[in-house]
């Protein structure tokens, strides 16, 4: 138990270090842009009339306080970390005076619902089919699926998204091509609204599943192909153990351990697939929010979304690092 505690503390320290470095890089990059949110906000506010110099000066002081740009560089940096710890990224420049945290909180459930669900479905389906293909290597159907998976795997997300949009939105218009739910529909845990959300998420989820399925399938097939030559599997087959039991208990159980690490990385990095996919389908998630923020020059919102993404990726890796030794006793925790 003591070894595991030391292992967990070491991983926790690595998590804190990765988050600290990543957020610092995001801070430096966003603050290196030539956009001055204070001057841009003042220009937008005074574009339709002349304001007194005193009023403009007071507005500048207030905006510097709101955006965390008051004082020297070191004071701004310390103020930034103070806000990050509290989850406060200031107001959005493009949706002023709405706080950045409110915009992220509003978009986050859409991204989590879409990408976490599609990632888990892709992982489960890809690993199951890959295990079957690796164990039943003479199956023509699984060989054909493997060829299709290899063909789709290198295709970019946006290509598949655009093809699905054209096919199911225009050629055979059976699914909505934009939005998260039907307009003017009251939100709530009622079937009409839930059904509308599922229908609007079908195309974005399908594009992610089709692309991601290949990597899980090919990875699992390769792992199983190596495991079936191990002595314990060969002896089980010679001993007449049921083939389904061999596949489930002897093969898949050993092959799934490394795949869990990949699942954690995928869950932590869900924002990678969100950016393009959500924008193509006009899905109201974090990806669309980030793209709109970049176009608007809203570096506070960009920094907020980037910070949340960094924490999400690092947290996903930390969780799987802590769980992995409990799943696979072969992992050393010294």
Give, for all 334 residues of the chain, the pLDDT tens digit.
677 788 888 888 888 898 899 888 888 887 776 666 666 666 656 555 566 666 667 667 776 666 666 767 787 788 888 888 888 787 777 777 788 888 888 888 888 888 888 888 888 888 888 888 887 877 788 888 888 877 777 777 778 888 888 888 788 888 887 777 777 777 777 778 888 888 888 888 888 888 888 888 888 888 888 777 777 777 777 777 777 777 777 777 777 777 777 776 676 556 665 677 788 888 888 888 888 888 777 778 888 888 888 887 788 778 877 777 766 655 565 5
Domain parsing of the chain, residue ranges: 104-327
Using CA atoms, how far apart are residues 189 and 51, in angstroms rounded to an integer?
48
Using CA atoms, how far apart are residues 144 and 173, in angstroms rounded to an integer?
29
Taking only the tens place, the pLDDT of each residue in 163-195 is 888 888 788 888 887 777 777 777 777 778 888
Q: Who contacts 47 (Cβ-Cβ below 8 Å, separation ≥6)?
A: none
Beta-sheet strands, E only, within the chain: none
Would you mind telling me the total number of residues written for the chain in this entry?
334
Contact 296, 305 (CB under 8 A): no
Taking only the tens place, the pLDDT of each residue in 238-287 is 777 777 777 777 777 777 777 777 776 676 556 665 677 788 888 888 88
pLDDT value of residue 126: 87
Contact 121, 127 (CB under 8 A): no
Q: Which residues pair with 91 in a beta bridge?
A: 99
What is the full DSSP assignment across 263-325? HHHHHHTHHHHHHHHHHHTT--SHHHHHHHHHHHT-HHHHHHHHHHHHHHHHHHHHHHHHHHH
Q: Cα-flanking dihedrals φ and ψ of residue 187, to 5°?
A: -80, 150
Q: What are the C-alpha distances in Å from 6 to residues 271, 317, 333?
A: 31, 17, 8
What is 104-327's CATH topology? Answer: MetI-like fold (1.10.3720)
Instruction: Look up tokens 């740009």; give the residue.
Output: 69
SS3 (DSSP) at 239: coil
CA 63 to chain centroid, in Å, comes to: 32
Using CA atoms, how far apart are residues 8 and 14, in angstroms rounded to an integer?
10
């Amino acid at each position: 138990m003591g070894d595991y505690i030391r292992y967990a503390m070491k991983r926790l320290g690595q998590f804190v270090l990765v988050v600290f470095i990543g957020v610092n890089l995001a801070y430096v990059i966003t603050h290196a842009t030539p956009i001055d949110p204070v001057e841009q906000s003042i220009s937008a506010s005074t574009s339709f009339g002349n304001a007194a110099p005193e009023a403009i000066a007071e507005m500048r002081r207030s905006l510097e306080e709101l955006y965390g740009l008051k004082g020297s560089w070191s004071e701004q940096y310390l103020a930034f970390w103070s806000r990050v710890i509290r989850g406060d990224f200031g107001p959005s420049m493009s949706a002023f005076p709405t706080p950045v945290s409110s915009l992220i909180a509003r978009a986050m459930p859409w991204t989590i619902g879409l990408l976490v669900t599609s990632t888990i479905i892709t992982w489960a389906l890809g690993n199951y089919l890959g295990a079957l293909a690796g164990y039943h290597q003479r199956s023509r159907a699984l060989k054909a699926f493997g060829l299709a998976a290899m063909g789709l795997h290198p295709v970019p997300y946006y290509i598949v998204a655009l093809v699905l949009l054209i096919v199911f939105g225009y050629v055979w218009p059976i699914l909505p091509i934009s939005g998260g739910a039907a307009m003017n529909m009251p939100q709530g845990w009622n079937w009409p609204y839930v059904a509308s959300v599922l229908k609007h998420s079908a195309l974005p989820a399908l594009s992610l599943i089709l692309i991601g399925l290949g990597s899980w399938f090919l990875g699992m097939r390769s792992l199983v192909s190596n495991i079936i030559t191990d002595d314990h599997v060969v002896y089980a087959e010679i001993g007449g153990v049921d083939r389904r039991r061999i596949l489930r208990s002897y093969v898949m159980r050993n092959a799934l351990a490394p795949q869990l690490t990949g699942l954690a990385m995928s869950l932590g990095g869900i924002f990678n697939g969100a950016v393009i996919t959500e924008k193509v389908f006009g899905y109201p998630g974090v990806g669309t929010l980030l793209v709109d923020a970049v176009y608007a020059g809203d570096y506070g919102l960009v920094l907020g979304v980037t910070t949340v993404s960094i924490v999400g990726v690092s947290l996903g890796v930390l969780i799987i690092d802590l769980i992995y030794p409990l799943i696979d006793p072969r992992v050393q925790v010294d």
